[in-house]
Structure 1
Amino acid sequence: MPSDSLPIFNQIWRETLHWEPTKSQLEQWEKLYQEIILVNRKINLTRITKPKDFWEKHLWDSLAGIDAKIIDIKSCSKVIDIGTGAGFPGIPVATIYPHLQVTLLDSKIKKIKCIDFILDKLKFNNCQTLIARSETIGQMKEYRETYDLVLIRAVGTPSVCTEYALPLLKIGGIAVLYRGYWHDEDKLTLKSALEKLGGKIISIKNIETPLTQSIRNFIYIKKISTTSLKFPRQIGIPTQNPL
């Protein structure tokens, strides 16, 4: 049996993000949702499955991080979503911006295989998947300093996220850290890490989610110089010994 349909909430899109999805995009998201619910019965892709929760925590949240006043999205071409999980925020971003080539990175083989099945079935032609750790690909020529935009959500502490993200960014590229909690001490430790990684914070945005009124924080980091080849460090070290 199919699940309940996703809400549309066009007025909320307009009021919060000053934009609304097209009929075609809404249809894509509905198909995506139904496929994820089906796959979720066999493998735990996401714990967020109720229609309103899925809309707010996966769709709205993914796109709230893409702020056109901060990111020149039209000039971006290559994007990587680190620790994509069930495909968020990468898939909604790829839906709205079809000119982007979005790489969905995760180290969990089962999850990526499920995402591959869904992408193929729904004809998401501007998404590709990659099974790897960011510490590994960050040291590989074909990935290092090749992305215009890095998205990273719910992966680790801010300094750990930046050690994963900055080596993959081109100079001038932007990393977006999707955060729940954000404190003054986070900013201090992040600035210290960025001095070593070649980046700087250009904006911090906090926004209230439209349905549950919880606070979401988005930290925008610009890469201003080449990252030392010391980074990223070997697998596990960034989390065990954060910068």
Structure 2
Amino acid sequence: MFLCNGEKLFAAAGFSLTEEELRRFETVAKRLVETNKVMNLTAITEADEIVVKHFIDSLTCYDEAYFPQGARLLDLGTGAGFPGIPLAVMHGDLEITFFDSLRKRLQFLQELTAAIGYEKAVFLHGRAEEEAHKGEYREVFDVVTTRAVARLPVLAEWALPYVKEDGIFVALKGAAYKAELAESQKALQILGGTVVDVRMKQLPGLTDTRAVIYIKKISKSPCKYPRRPGIAIKNPL
């Protein structure tokens, strides 16, 4: 078994997994490492680190208070599938749309979700700044998640236009989260979001600072946002 310490590490983080869930995470880890040999998916390829830094880190964002049963979730900038894939393993009721700008990553995720038997996956290829202006995606998601995509002022402009009113934008952040929160106040006000919760998290064996930020959508985002590709990064709100 590739994840020989998996069950122990999950337990240390407070997660009790079934044998089937452990088997699915084993499948995910093996396919991630194998595919990473031919496609740049992750710099983390050691088994224990995959469990802690990808799987457990992703699962820390879940709280049933913010993720309604059967929620429609957009994993924006999903990359190798985090946090979306671990959420799919543990919370199969969620309807997760994996959103990325690179088709080959989405092809990998399409094969991966099939391998773990997750049948509610949707795959969206494009740029966050463009797809948000299409009616089928704008302000329709109960939850939007992001992990290691960009700084929060930029993320807010990309993500909040996808969140329905009373929905939640969930940002998984690192040590700079306080500074990013301070920088984001204007953007959140413009885009109709308000911070409702900030939770510190500790991962097994790690001492670095991490937090999950929950932002509620309290009003519609002005139709001109997000701005054209590249503008949010060059000139954050």
Q: TM-score, normalised by structure 2?
A: 0.94
Q: Which runs of 5+ in 1 are unaligned?
A: none
Give percent identity, aligned residues only: 32
2:213 to 213, 219, 227: 219
Q: Which runs of 5+ in 2 are unaligned?
A: none
Amino acid at match of 1:232: P
Partner of 1:29: 25
Alpha-carbon spacing, 1:37–1:196, altered in 2? closer, same or farther (3 Å): same
- Map 1:94-113 onto structure 2 (within 5 A): 94-113=88-107
- Map 1:202-217 onto structure 2 (within 5 A): 202-217=196-211
Note the C-alpha offset of 1:15. Answer: 5.2
Partner of 2:74: 80
- Map 1:62-81 onto structure 2 (within 5 A): 62-68=58-64, 70-71=65-66, 73-81=67-75
Partner of 2:54: 58
Instruction: Provide the C-alpha distance between the structure 1 equivalents of 2:117 and 2:158, rounded to a whole number of angstroms.
Output: 29
Alpha-carbon spacing, 1:121–1:67, altered in 2? closer, same or farther (3 Å): closer
Amino acid at match of 1:107: S
Alpha-carbon deviations, 1:130-165, whole Å to 9, x = none? 111111111110000110001001111101111111
- Map 1:1-243 onto structure 2 (within 5 A): 4-10=2-8, 13-14=10-11, 16-17=13-14, 19-68=15-64, 70-71=65-66, 73-243=67-237
Alpha-carbon deviations, 1:156-208, whole Å to 9, x = none? 11011111110000100001111112354422221211100001000111122
Alpha-carbon spacing, 1:16–1:205, altered in 2? closer, same or farther (3 Å): same
Instruction: Provide the C-alpha distance between the structure 1 equivalents of 2:161 and 2:213, rounded to a whole number of angstroms.
Output: 17
Q: TM-score, normalised by structure 1?
A: 0.91
Residues 12, 204 of structure 2: 8 Å contact kept: no
Q: How many residues align?
A: 237
Q: CA RMSD in A?
A: 1.7
Alpha-carbon deviations, 1:27-65, whole Å to 9, x = none? 111011111111111111111110011001110000011
Q: Which moved more, 1:151-160 or 1:209-218?
A: 209-218
